[in-house]
Amino acid sequence: MKILVSGATGYIGSHTVAELINAGFKVVAVDNLTNSSLESLKRVEKLFKCKIPFYRLDIRNKSALKKVFDKHSIEAVIHFAGLKSVNESILKPVEYYNNNLGGTFSLIEVMKEFNCKIFLFSSSASVYGNPQSIPIKENVPLSGSNPYSRSKIMIEQYLQDVFNTSDNYCLGILRYFNPIGAHKSGLIGEDPNDIPNNLIPFVSQVAIGKIKKLYIFGGDYETPDGTGIRDYIHVVDLAIGHIKALQVIMKKPQVLIANLGTGKGHSVLDVVKAFEKTSGRKIPFTIVDRRQGDIAISYADCNHANKVLNWKAKYKLDEMCEDAWRWQTLNPKGYN
Protein backbone atom coordinates (compact mmCIF):
# COMPACT_ATOMS: atom_id res chain seq x y z
CA MET A 1 0.00 0.00 0.00
CA LYS A 2 1.37 3.40 -1.01
CA ILE A 3 1.15 6.26 1.51
CA LEU A 4 1.86 9.91 0.80
CA VAL A 5 3.48 11.51 3.83
CA SER A 6 3.42 15.32 3.98
CA GLY A 7 6.06 16.87 6.24
CA ALA A 8 8.01 13.63 5.83
CA THR A 9 11.44 15.08 6.58
CA GLY A 10 10.32 16.70 9.86
CA TYR A 11 10.75 15.30 13.36
CA ILE A 12 7.60 13.17 13.65
CA GLY A 13 7.31 12.63 9.88
CA SER A 14 10.76 11.04 9.56
CA HIS A 15 10.14 8.68 12.48
CA THR A 16 6.77 7.69 11.03
CA VAL A 17 8.29 7.09 7.60
CA ALA A 18 10.77 4.73 9.31
CA GLU A 19 7.95 2.80 11.02
CA LEU A 20 5.89 2.70 7.81
CA ILE A 21 8.81 1.16 5.90
CA ASN A 22 9.42 -1.21 8.81
CA ALA A 23 5.76 -2.32 8.60
CA GLY A 24 6.01 -2.95 4.84
CA PHE A 25 4.24 0.15 3.49
CA LYS A 26 5.51 2.06 0.45
CA VAL A 27 6.10 5.75 1.11
CA VAL A 28 6.05 8.81 -1.13
CA ALA A 29 7.55 11.73 0.80
CA VAL A 30 6.78 15.42 0.29
CA ASP A 31 8.10 18.44 2.19
CA ASN A 32 9.10 22.01 1.36
CA LEU A 33 12.09 21.73 3.75
CA THR A 34 11.24 25.00 5.54
CA ASN A 35 11.80 23.38 8.93
CA SER A 36 13.77 20.23 8.16
CA SER A 37 16.56 18.69 6.18
CA LEU A 38 16.50 16.06 3.44
CA GLU A 39 19.26 14.31 5.37
CA SER A 40 16.60 12.83 7.72
CA LEU A 41 15.09 10.88 4.82
CA LYS A 42 18.53 9.82 3.59
CA ARG A 43 19.18 8.41 7.07
CA VAL A 44 15.91 6.43 6.95
CA GLU A 45 16.95 5.09 3.53
CA LYS A 46 20.29 4.08 5.04
CA LEU A 47 18.58 2.40 7.97
CA PHE A 48 16.33 0.24 5.78
CA LYS A 49 18.57 0.06 2.70
CA CYS A 50 15.76 1.40 0.51
CA LYS A 51 14.92 4.32 -1.78
CA ILE A 52 12.06 6.66 -0.85
CA PRO A 53 10.66 8.90 -3.60
CA PHE A 54 10.87 12.51 -2.39
CA TYR A 55 9.30 15.68 -3.80
CA ARG A 56 10.34 19.07 -2.56
CA LEU A 57 7.12 21.02 -2.82
CA ASP A 58 4.80 23.26 -0.87
CA ILE A 59 1.56 21.35 -0.35
CA ARG A 60 -0.39 24.56 -1.03
CA ASN A 61 0.79 24.19 -4.63
CA LYS A 62 -1.99 22.00 -6.01
CA SER A 63 -0.51 21.52 -9.45
CA ALA A 64 2.75 20.22 -7.95
CA LEU A 65 0.77 17.87 -5.70
CA LYS A 66 -1.33 16.63 -8.62
CA LYS A 67 1.81 15.62 -10.49
CA VAL A 68 2.79 13.42 -7.52
CA PHE A 69 -0.68 11.83 -7.38
CA ASP A 70 -0.52 11.33 -11.16
CA LYS A 71 2.79 9.54 -10.93
CA HIS A 72 2.04 7.33 -7.90
CA SER A 73 -1.12 5.44 -6.99
CA ILE A 74 -1.54 7.01 -3.59
CA GLU A 75 -4.01 5.11 -1.40
CA ALA A 76 -3.71 7.09 1.85
CA VAL A 77 -2.23 10.33 3.16
CA ILE A 78 -0.60 11.03 6.51
CA HIS A 79 -0.50 14.79 6.94
CA PHE A 80 2.25 16.22 9.17
CA ALA A 81 3.17 19.31 7.15
CA GLY A 82 2.52 22.48 9.10
CA LEU A 83 4.00 25.22 11.21
CA LYS A 84 4.14 24.22 14.87
CA SER A 85 5.45 26.92 17.18
CA VAL A 86 2.87 28.38 19.56
CA ASN A 87 4.95 31.54 20.18
CA GLU A 88 5.65 32.14 16.51
CA SER A 89 1.96 31.67 15.70
CA ILE A 90 1.11 34.65 17.93
CA LEU A 91 3.64 36.80 16.04
CA LYS A 92 2.77 35.48 12.57
CA PRO A 93 -0.93 34.51 12.57
CA VAL A 94 -1.38 35.20 8.85
CA GLU A 95 1.42 32.79 7.93
CA TYR A 96 0.17 30.14 10.37
CA TYR A 97 -3.44 30.16 9.19
CA ASN A 98 -2.40 30.31 5.55
CA ASN A 99 0.07 27.44 5.83
CA ASN A 100 -1.83 25.13 8.16
CA LEU A 101 -5.32 25.61 6.77
CA GLY A 102 -4.26 26.27 3.16
CA GLY A 103 -2.02 23.19 3.10
CA THR A 104 -4.81 20.96 4.39
CA PHE A 105 -7.41 22.37 1.95
CA SER A 106 -5.07 21.78 -0.95
CA LEU A 107 -4.26 18.19 0.06
CA ILE A 108 -7.92 17.28 0.57
CA GLU A 109 -8.98 18.85 -2.74
CA VAL A 110 -6.31 16.93 -4.65
CA MET A 111 -7.19 13.71 -2.79
CA LYS A 112 -10.85 14.13 -3.80
CA GLU A 113 -9.83 14.58 -7.41
CA PHE A 114 -7.83 11.34 -7.30
CA ASN A 115 -10.45 9.45 -5.28
CA CYS A 116 -8.04 8.89 -2.42
CA LYS A 117 -10.12 8.39 0.73
CA ILE A 118 -7.90 7.58 3.69
CA PHE A 119 -6.47 10.49 5.71
CA LEU A 120 -4.61 10.77 9.02
CA PHE A 121 -4.14 14.21 10.56
CA SER A 122 -1.60 15.47 13.14
CA SER A 123 -3.59 17.32 15.73
CA SER A 124 -2.36 18.40 19.13
CA ALA A 125 -3.22 18.33 22.82
CA SER A 126 -3.16 22.12 22.57
CA VAL A 127 -6.75 21.88 21.20
CA TYR A 128 -7.85 21.23 24.80
CA GLY A 129 -6.65 24.66 25.99
CA ASN A 130 -6.62 24.77 29.79
CA PRO A 131 -8.50 21.53 30.48
CA GLN A 132 -11.25 21.44 33.11
CA SER A 133 -10.46 17.87 34.10
CA ILE A 134 -7.40 15.64 34.10
CA PRO A 135 -6.66 13.15 32.56
CA ILE A 136 -7.99 14.64 29.33
CA LYS A 137 -10.59 12.67 27.39
CA GLU A 138 -11.24 13.18 23.68
CA ASN A 139 -14.88 14.24 24.15
CA VAL A 140 -14.33 17.40 26.22
CA PRO A 141 -15.04 20.81 24.60
CA LEU A 142 -12.10 22.19 22.60
CA SER A 143 -10.66 25.61 23.25
CA GLY A 144 -7.68 27.10 21.46
CA SER A 145 -5.75 29.86 23.16
CA ASN A 146 -3.41 30.86 20.30
CA PRO A 147 -3.43 30.89 16.46
CA TYR A 148 -1.57 27.54 16.31
CA SER A 149 -4.08 25.63 18.42
CA ARG A 150 -7.02 27.41 16.80
CA SER A 151 -5.68 26.39 13.37
CA LYS A 152 -5.70 22.75 14.57
CA ILE A 153 -9.29 23.06 15.86
CA MET A 154 -10.45 24.64 12.58
CA ILE A 155 -8.78 21.89 10.56
CA GLU A 156 -10.36 19.19 12.74
CA GLN A 157 -13.79 20.76 12.13
CA TYR A 158 -13.19 21.15 8.40
CA LEU A 159 -12.06 17.53 8.08
CA GLN A 160 -15.08 16.22 9.97
CA ASP A 161 -17.44 18.27 7.78
CA VAL A 162 -15.77 16.99 4.62
CA PHE A 163 -15.48 13.38 5.69
CA ASN A 164 -18.94 13.10 7.26
CA THR A 165 -20.71 14.22 4.12
CA SER A 166 -18.77 12.11 1.65
CA ASP A 167 -19.19 8.42 1.11
CA ASN A 168 -16.62 5.89 2.15
CA TYR A 169 -14.11 8.23 3.67
CA CYS A 170 -11.78 7.12 6.44
CA LEU A 171 -10.46 9.86 8.71
CA GLY A 172 -8.14 9.67 11.71
CA ILE A 173 -7.45 12.70 13.90
CA LEU A 174 -4.58 12.05 16.30
CA ARG A 175 -4.03 14.48 19.17
CA TYR A 176 -0.41 14.26 20.25
CA PHE A 177 0.73 15.11 23.74
CA ASN A 178 4.48 15.93 24.08
CA PRO A 179 6.60 13.91 21.63
CA ILE A 180 10.25 13.58 22.68
CA GLY A 181 13.17 11.17 22.21
CA ALA A 182 14.68 9.82 19.03
CA HIS A 183 15.11 6.64 17.00
CA LYS A 184 17.17 3.95 18.77
CA SER A 185 19.70 3.97 15.93
CA GLY A 186 20.73 7.53 16.81
CA LEU A 187 20.37 8.30 13.09
CA ILE A 188 17.19 10.37 13.22
CA GLY A 189 15.95 12.79 15.88
CA GLU A 190 14.73 16.30 16.56
CA ASP A 191 16.81 19.03 14.95
CA PRO A 192 15.37 22.44 15.85
CA ASN A 193 16.52 25.60 14.09
CA ASP A 194 18.06 28.20 16.42
CA ILE A 195 17.45 28.10 20.17
CA PRO A 196 14.89 25.40 20.98
CA ASN A 197 11.48 26.36 22.38
CA ASN A 198 10.65 22.94 23.73
CA LEU A 199 11.94 21.45 26.94
CA ILE A 200 13.86 18.34 25.86
CA PRO A 201 15.87 19.85 23.00
CA PHE A 202 16.72 22.75 25.32
CA VAL A 203 17.78 20.42 28.16
CA SER A 204 19.92 18.28 25.84
CA GLN A 205 21.69 21.36 24.51
CA VAL A 206 22.40 22.40 28.11
CA ALA A 207 23.71 18.89 28.87
CA ILE A 208 26.08 19.00 25.89
CA GLY A 209 27.29 22.50 26.83
CA LYS A 210 25.82 24.44 23.89
CA ILE A 211 23.56 26.44 26.20
CA LYS A 212 24.62 27.48 29.71
CA LYS A 213 21.49 26.77 31.71
CA LEU A 214 17.84 25.92 31.60
CA TYR A 215 15.19 28.48 32.53
CA ILE A 216 12.27 26.70 34.15
CA PHE A 217 9.09 28.60 33.40
CA GLY A 218 7.27 28.79 36.73
CA GLY A 219 7.88 27.13 40.08
CA ASP A 220 4.56 28.15 41.63
CA TYR A 221 2.05 25.94 39.79
CA GLU A 222 -0.34 23.86 41.85
CA THR A 223 1.67 20.71 41.25
CA PRO A 224 3.68 18.64 43.77
CA ASP A 225 7.00 20.38 42.98
CA GLY A 226 5.55 23.64 41.60
CA THR A 227 6.68 23.06 37.97
CA GLY A 228 4.47 22.27 34.98
CA ILE A 229 3.37 18.69 34.27
CA ARG A 230 3.15 17.19 30.78
CA ASP A 231 2.56 13.81 29.14
CA TYR A 232 5.86 13.08 27.35
CA ILE A 233 5.58 10.35 24.71
CA HIS A 234 8.44 8.68 22.84
CA VAL A 235 8.35 9.72 19.18
CA VAL A 236 8.68 6.06 18.11
CA ASP A 237 5.61 5.11 20.19
CA LEU A 238 3.84 8.02 18.52
CA ALA A 239 4.93 6.85 15.06
CA ILE A 240 3.71 3.31 15.78
CA GLY A 241 0.39 4.82 16.92
CA HIS A 242 0.04 6.17 13.36
CA ILE A 243 0.55 2.74 11.80
CA LYS A 244 -2.09 1.28 14.13
CA ALA A 245 -4.50 4.13 13.35
CA LEU A 246 -3.96 3.70 9.61
CA GLN A 247 -4.65 -0.03 9.89
CA VAL A 248 -7.87 0.67 11.83
CA ILE A 249 -9.32 3.46 9.67
CA MET A 250 -8.65 1.73 6.35
CA LYS A 251 -10.86 -1.20 7.40
CA LYS A 252 -14.11 0.76 7.12
CA PRO A 253 -15.34 4.34 6.60
CA GLN A 254 -15.23 6.20 9.90
CA VAL A 255 -14.03 9.25 11.79
CA LEU A 256 -11.61 8.25 14.53
CA ILE A 257 -10.33 10.75 17.09
CA ALA A 258 -7.68 9.61 19.55
CA ASN A 259 -5.24 11.00 22.07
CA LEU A 260 -1.68 9.77 21.64
CA GLY A 261 0.06 10.01 24.99
CA THR A 262 1.22 7.76 27.80
CA GLY A 263 -1.41 8.76 30.35
CA LYS A 264 1.34 9.73 32.81
CA GLY A 265 2.40 13.23 33.80
CA HIS A 266 5.96 14.33 34.59
CA SER A 267 7.05 17.69 35.96
CA VAL A 268 9.86 19.80 34.49
CA LEU A 269 12.01 18.85 37.49
CA ASP A 270 11.30 15.12 36.86
CA VAL A 271 12.59 15.62 33.31
CA VAL A 272 15.71 17.44 34.54
CA LYS A 273 16.46 14.61 37.01
CA ALA A 274 15.89 11.90 34.40
CA PHE A 275 18.14 13.69 31.91
CA GLU A 276 20.91 14.19 34.48
CA LYS A 277 20.78 10.49 35.34
CA THR A 278 20.91 9.44 31.69
CA SER A 279 23.60 11.83 30.53
CA GLY A 280 25.72 11.87 33.68
CA ARG A 281 25.81 15.67 33.20
CA LYS A 282 24.56 18.36 35.55
CA ILE A 283 21.73 20.52 34.17
CA PRO A 284 22.05 23.94 35.81
CA PHE A 285 18.71 25.74 36.00
CA THR A 286 17.00 28.87 37.28
CA ILE A 287 13.32 29.10 38.00
CA VAL A 288 11.85 32.17 36.28
CA ASP A 289 8.33 33.55 35.69
CA ARG A 290 5.70 31.39 34.06
CA ARG A 291 5.70 31.40 30.24
CA GLN A 292 2.65 33.17 28.84
CA GLY A 293 0.00 30.71 27.67
CA ASP A 294 1.41 27.69 29.56
CA ILE A 295 -0.92 25.58 31.65
CA ALA A 296 -0.15 23.73 34.90
CA ILE A 297 -1.03 20.16 34.03
CA SER A 298 -1.73 18.24 30.85
CA TYR A 299 -1.84 14.50 30.44
CA ALA A 300 -3.97 12.18 28.38
CA ASP A 301 -6.68 9.70 29.11
CA CYS A 302 -5.43 7.03 26.70
CA ASN A 303 -8.17 4.45 27.23
CA HIS A 304 -9.86 5.18 23.92
CA ALA A 305 -6.61 4.95 21.91
CA ASN A 306 -5.52 1.82 23.79
CA LYS A 307 -8.85 0.16 23.00
CA VAL A 308 -9.62 1.21 19.44
CA LEU A 309 -6.06 1.14 18.15
CA ASN A 310 -4.94 -1.85 20.22
CA TRP A 311 -1.93 0.33 21.00
CA LYS A 312 -0.17 1.46 24.13
CA ALA A 313 2.90 3.67 24.48
CA LYS A 314 5.67 1.47 25.85
CA TYR A 315 8.66 3.71 26.59
CA LYS A 316 9.18 5.34 30.00
CA LEU A 317 10.67 8.77 30.63
CA ASP A 318 14.21 7.43 31.34
CA GLU A 319 14.37 5.68 28.00
CA MET A 320 12.99 8.72 26.17
CA CYS A 321 15.82 10.80 27.70
CA GLU A 322 18.41 8.12 26.88
CA ASP A 323 17.38 8.12 23.22
CA ALA A 324 17.29 11.93 23.04
CA TRP A 325 20.80 12.00 24.57
CA ARG A 326 22.15 9.38 22.14
CA TRP A 327 20.84 11.46 19.22
CA GLN A 328 22.34 14.64 20.70
CA THR A 329 25.78 13.13 21.33
CA LEU A 330 26.00 11.37 17.96
CA ASN A 331 24.75 14.46 16.10
CA PRO A 332 25.94 17.51 18.08
CA LYS A 333 25.18 19.74 15.07
CA GLY A 334 21.93 17.99 14.16
CA TYR A 335 21.76 16.90 10.51
CA ASN A 336 24.42 19.39 9.37
What b/e string do you get for 218-250 counting C-beta neighbours within 10 Å, with b at 16 or more? bbebebeebbbbbbbbbbbbbbbbbbbbbebbb
Choosing among ligand UFG, ligand NAD, none, which partner's interface includes residue 215 (Cβ < 5 to 8 Å by kind)?
ligand UFG
Phi, psi of 132 (to 5 degrees): -80, -30
| Residue 142 DSSP class | P
As a whole number of angstroms, the distance between CA 116 and CA 143 comes to 31
Which residues, 89 to 108, sit near ligand NAD by CB under 6 A? 99, 103
Q: Is 31 in the site for ligand NAD (CB under 6 A)?
A: yes
Question: Please, which residue, 32 or 278, has the CB nearer to ligand NAD?
Answer: 32
Q: Mind telling me the catalytic residues?
A: 148
| Radius of gyration (C-alpha) of the chain in whole angstroms | 19
Least distance from ligand NAD to the Cβ atom of residue 82, Å = 3
135 binds ligand NAD (CB under 6 A): no
> Half-sphere exposure of residue 48, counting CA atoms within 13 Å on the CB side?
23
Q: Which is nearer to ligand NAD, 143 or 253 (CB)?
A: 143
Identify whether the C-beta of residue 147 lies closer than 8 Å to the C-beta of residue 97: yes
Binding-site residue total for ligand NAD (CB under 6 A)? 27
Instruction: Give bridge partners of residue 178 from the DSSP assignment.
Output: 232
Nearest CB to ligand UFG, comparing residues 104 and 124: 124
Among the residue ranges 52-60, 87-95, 111-119, 289-297, the one whose residues contact ligand NAD (CB under 6 A):
52-60
Whole-number minimum distance, CB 88 to ligand NAD, in Å? 11
How far is C-alpha 216 from the chain's CA centre?
Answer: 23
69 binds ligand NAD (CB under 6 A): no
Binding site residues, ligand UFG, CB under 6 A: 84, 86, 124-126, 176-178, 197-199, 202, 214-217, 228, 230, 268, 291, 294
